[in-house]
Structure 1
Amino acid sequence: MNHFTIIFFALTGGIFLSVQGGLNAQLGSLLKSPLLASLVAYLFSTLFAFLLVLFSIKQVPSMQQVKAIPFYLWFTGALFSVLGISLYYYTIPKLGISTMISTGLVGQILFSSLAGHFAWFGLPEEPLDIKRIVGLCAMVIGIVLLNNK
């Protein structure tokens, strides 16, 4: 798969996350509970993921592969996901979707830059050099300007 296609997928994923944030924030407002909206979203996400796996998986992991996975990896990603998404659903109706998504993006950009620099989570190292730091500052300033009323 070429680099352009991967970038396109990343942009599309960002669009999808904005759409789901807006729809599920509305669900949370109507249910009067962002946590309940998260539960509903995750229940249906589980169903959709199950169907996608059912029709696309080529090989089931072996028991040896499953046993080699550290215990904490089975639940920590889900914990951060439900907390982060619930915070999105809570803050979107209060801030507006563009303000919330762009503010959340600042958090993602800053944390992911640190995580990449130090190669946390077993991911590839992406050292912070002056060019990246200037780019990060420009993005953060741009988002601040977008949200300055």
Structure 2
Amino acid sequence: MRMLMIAMTLLAGILIPVQTAINSQLRHVLFGSPVLSSLVSFAVGTITLALLYFGVLRGSLPDGAMLMRTSWWMWIGGMMGAFFVLSGIVAAPRIGVATVVVMLVAGQLAMALLLDHFGWIGLPVREISPMRLTGVALVLVGAFVFTRG
């Protein structure tokens, strides 16, 4: 199962620059609007997930009691995803997809290290080790070097 999860996340990582490039091109067709192209991207994603959840998995809607057990911050993930997609659409034509991706990875690793170390947002604690810190530092230095070239 671990190898399947690693392969799945590797594929997701491979698709990020492809998604960024596709959404940037979609922007040109949709009035040059990064917001509209983000909306279309999320609409297609929402339809895809709805078909998977309701059609393939035969899922049901949550009830009121289930929704009442959520915290306010559990609802902002979609806004973060929208910012992620919108940022890529706006930045890719200006700084290139590779620079967008290297900065995304640098930011993701830095925050992931903090989330793991402190166990924020209900995650299990995985303390910062010298090797993990070195790995993240190398990526951050690499991102800095990459953006200079």
Instruction: Provide the alpha-carbon RMSD of the alignment.
Output: 1.8
Residue 142 of structure 1 and its aligned partner are, at CA, apart by 2.6
Q: Which residue of 1 is the match for residue 104 of structure 2?
A: 104
Asked whether the equivalents of residues 28 and 90 of structure 1 are also in contact (C-alpha less than 8 Å), the reply is no
Q: What is the DSSP-based 3-state SS (H/G/I as helix, E as strand, rest coil) of the residue aligned with 1:23?
A: helix
Deviation of 1:86 after TM superposition, in Å, equals 0.5
Residue number in structure 1 paired with 2:81: 81
Which residue pairs with 2:8 in the alignment?
Answer: 9
Per-residue deviation, residues 40-70 of structure 1 (Å, max 9, x unmatched): 1111111111111123335536523333222
Shift of 1:29: 3.5
Partners in 2 of 1:59 and 1:103 — Cα distance? 36
For structure 2, the residue ranges without an aligned partner over 5 or more in a row are none
Report the TM-score when normalising by structure 2: 0.88
**Gap change, CA 1:47 and 1:15, over 3 Å in 2:** same
Q: Cα 1:131–1:35, aligned 2, differ >3 Å: closer, same or farther? A: same
Deviation at 1:128, TM superposition (A): 1.0
Structure 1 residues 54-110: Cα deviation after superposition (integer angstroms, max 9, x where no partner) = 233355365233332224423x11111111210111001101101111111111111
- C-alpha contact (below 8 Å) 2:91/2:100 kept by paired residues: yes
